[in-house]
Amino acid sequence: MATSNVANGNGSSETKGKTITCKAAVAHGPGEPFVVEQILVHPPKKMEVRIKILYTSICHTDLSGWKGECEPQRAYPRIFGHEASGVVESVGKGVSDIKEKDIVVLIFNGECGECVYCKCEKTNMCEKFGVDPMKKLMCDGTSRFSTIDGKPIFHFLNTSTFTEYTVVDSGCVVKVNPQETLCLKNLTMLSCGVSTGIGAAWNTANVHAGSSVAVFGLGAVGLAVAEGARARGASKIIGVDINPDKFITAKTMGITDLINPTDEEKPVYERIREMTGGGGVDYSFECTGNLNVLRDAFLSVHEGWGLTVLLGIQSSPKLLPIHPMELFDGRRIEGSIFGGFKGKSQLPNLATECMQGAIKLDKFITHELPFEEINKAFDLLIDGKSLRCLLHL
Ligand code: APR
Ligand code: ZN
Ligand code: ZN
């Protein structure tokens, strides 16, 4: 590669069309500490966008991906991260809805706008840019990242945000309104976890006023469900978590009642039925990624109409812990990816609603650190100390 075709990503020179050298937190093996090192970021190809990341945060799915839990074929070196916001550095051929200097939020569950799913109102799946943990490269089968000595670095969840610059498909980029850029830190929360939780309550379950809800797992995803249910007027929102440290924050975020399973002699679903006059809640949400918890969540909803929404990513190869006959009791179960939101078309509205006060996004940012301290940020999530730690690039 000619030297003139490489630009430093520190803003000191023109970068458009050139390969950028910049810092990234690279994972070299499952669960190994991230190494913050110089990498090369190649220009965006057709329908791709190169973004200078300003903020990124860590979601539990990054943790699972980094540990190599979700996929048999592990791919390293790799750049993880999928919650982020930033500014567009340049766009590839054919991109018309996004331009240089646009302020954007990245989404791992993209929207091409043209496939059979994107054209269907019933789903937020997308043939091209839907979630695929096995996907490690761009759509043309190549990487836009390489090590300084030219070895390809793998992508993650259509996004790869633990880097100063990333390249993503335009279907995974959401332009946000200028007035909202004032709160870009907060808008970063809409990139994955918080939208997932709010959308599960609003879109997947369609929680109604006066209803009862149980949320299993009080991380950012579970508390976003609680906030979404509160905004819809749910009257009882029971939070379940094995880490009592989560309870203080939970009480300020929609949760009205708390259960710590480790303090209970009875199964949690029985406690929940007792707390709701014997019948169970109208809606339950599994936000831990634990299959045994899913069974409790399922049995804690009311016969006849109760709905359990699955949000937690299950790394276990086991099947659902539910006997088919149990479904005749009228309890339903449904999965929710990205809260059912069609990201590109519906996130701007969600952002506006949040800015108007429907959901306070800043409450989810419990910590902020410089990007270089990414390993510390991971420890905060692993130790159950943070909801979201925002890394500044
Ligand atoms: N019972 C109750 N709570 C549990 C259990 C359990 N058996 N196991 C874990 N938890 C709690 C943890 O104590 C923690 O508070 O679940 C919470 C999970 O929160 P985070 O680790 O912060 O994860 P979050 O980012 O909120 O994601 C939750 O949704 O999108 C998926 O992959 C994600 O599976 C993950 C889930
Ligand atoms: Zn996520
Ligand atoms: Zn599509």
Could you tell me the residue range of the domain that residue 232 belongs to? 197-336
Note the pLDDT of residue 3. Answer: 46
Atom of ligand 1 nearest to the CA of 59: 25
Regarding whether 115 and 10 lie in a shared domain, the answer is yes
313 in any annotated domain: yes
What count of Cα atoms within 13 Å lies in the side-chain half-sphere of residue 206? 1
22 in any annotated domain: yes
Cross-sheet strand order for the sheet of 212-216? 257-259, 236-240, 212-216, 283-286, 307-310, 332-335
What is the mean pLDDT of the segment spanning 364-382?
A: 97
- For the Cβ of 61 lying below 6 angstroms from any atom of ligand 1, the answer is yes
Distance 171 CA to ligand 3 centre (A): 8
What is the mean pLDDT of the segment spanning 174-201?
A: 89
Which of 336, 351, 368 is the endpoint of a domain?
Answer: 336
* 77 prior amide bond cis, ω within 30: yes
Residue 299 parent element (H or E): helix 291-299
Regarding whether 26 and 133 lie in a shared domain, the answer is yes
Atom of ligand 1 nearest to the CA of 312: 34
Structure confidence by residue, pLDDT tens digits, 48-105: 999 999 999 999 999 999 998 866 667 999 999 999 999 999 999 999 999 999 999 9
- For the Cβ of 311 lying below 6 angstroms from any atom of ligand 1, the answer is yes
Regarding whether 260 and 151 lie in a shared domain, the answer is no
User: Has residue 204 got a pLDDT over 50?
Assistant: yes
CATH number of residue 17's parent domain:
3.90.180.10
- Mean pLDDT across the chain: 94
Structure confidence by residue, pLDDT tens digits, 91-147: 999 999 999 999 999 999 999 999 999 999 999 999 999 888 788 999 999 999 999
Regarding whether 202 and 163 lie in a shared domain, the answer is no
User: CA–CA separation, 40 vs 150, rounded Å?
Assistant: 8
- For the Cβ of 59 lying below 6 angstroms from any atom of ligand 1, the answer is yes
User: CA–CA separation, 75 vs 69, rounded Å?
Assistant: 12
Note the pLDDT of residue 267. Answer: 96
What is the mean pLDDT of the segment spanning 344-371?
A: 94
Residue nearest to atom 25 of ligand 1 (CA): 60
- For the Cβ of 343 lying below 6 angstroms from any atom of ligand 1, the answer is no
Note the pLDDT of residue 20. Answer: 97
Structure confidence by residue, pLDDT tens digits, 13-46: 799 999 999 999 999 999 999 999 999 999 999 9
- For the Cβ of 106 lying below 6 angstroms from any atom of ligand 1, the answer is no
pLDDT band at 9 (very low <50, low <70, confident <90, very high): confident
Q: Which ligand neighbours the alpha carbon of 171 most closely?
A: 3
Note the pLDDT of residue 92. Answer: 98
What is the mean pLDDT of the segment spanning 162-191?
A: 89
String of DSSP letters for 9-45? TTTTS--TTSEEEEEEEEB-STTPPPEEEEEEEPPP-
Tokens found for residue 203: 């879109």
Query: Taking the alpha carbons of 140, 51, 38, 76 in that order, is the dihedral positive or negative?
Result: negative
What is the mean pLDDT of the segment spanning 1-5?
A: 56
- For the Cβ of 322 lying below 6 angstroms from any atom of ligand 1, the answer is no
Structure confidence by residue, pLDDT tens digits, 212-261: 999 999 999 999 999 999 999 999 999 999 999 999 999 999 999 999 99
Tokens found for residue 290: 């634990």
187 in any annotated domain: yes
Strands (E), the chain: 6-8, 19-26, 35-41, 48-57, 83-91, 103-106, 145-147, 152-153, 165-169, 173-175, 212-216, 236-240, 257-259, 283-286, 307-310, 332-335, 365-370, 388-392
Atom of ligand 1 nearest to the CA of 218: 15
User: CA–CA separation, 106 vs 113, rounded Å?
Assistant: 16
Note the pLDDT of residue 151. Answer: 96
Regarding whether 291 and 227 lie in a shared domain, the answer is yes
264 in any annotated domain: yes
The strand pairing partners of 83, in sequence order, are 57
User: CA–CA separation, 268 vs 260, rounded Å?
Assistant: 9
Regarding whether 258 and 150 lie in a shared domain, the answer is no
Total domain count for the chain? 2
348 in any annotated domain: no
Regarding whether 206 and 136 lie in a shared domain, the answer is no
Q: Which ligand neighbours the alpha carbon of 127 most closely?
A: 3
SS3 category, 118: coil
pLDDT band at 4 (very low <50, low <70, confident <90, very high): low
User: CA–CA separation, 143 vs 146, rounded Å?
Assistant: 7
Residue nearest to atom 19 of ligand 1 (CA): 219
CATH number of residue 245's parent domain:
3.40.50.720
Tokens found for residue 161: 């945000």
Regarding whether 378 and 325 lie in a shared domain, the answer is no
Burial 30-48 (b: 16+ CB within 10 A, else e): eeeebebeebbbbbbbebb
User: CA–CA separation, 299 vs 302, rounded Å?
Assistant: 8
350 in any annotated domain: no
Tell me how far CA of residue 311 lies from CA of 19, 56, 85, 115, 183, in angstroms. Answer: 38, 21, 23, 24, 27
- For the Cβ of 217 lying below 6 angstroms from any atom of ligand 1, the answer is yes
Regarding whether 136 and 213 lie in a shared domain, the answer is no
- For the Cβ of 386 lying below 6 angstroms from any atom of ligand 1, the answer is no
Regarding whether 287 and 216 lie in a shared domain, the answer is yes
Regarding whether 118 and 65 lie in a shared domain, the answer is yes
349 in any annotated domain: no
By C-alpha distance, which of 384, 390, 387 is closest to 368?
390
Atom of ligand 1 nearest to the CA of 63: 32
What is the mean pLDDT of the segment spanning 155-163?
A: 97
User: CA–CA separation, 78 vs 342, rounded Å?
Assistant: 27
Distance 289 CA to ligand 2 centre (A): 12
Regarding whether 315 and 226 lie in a shared domain, the answer is yes
342 in any annotated domain: no
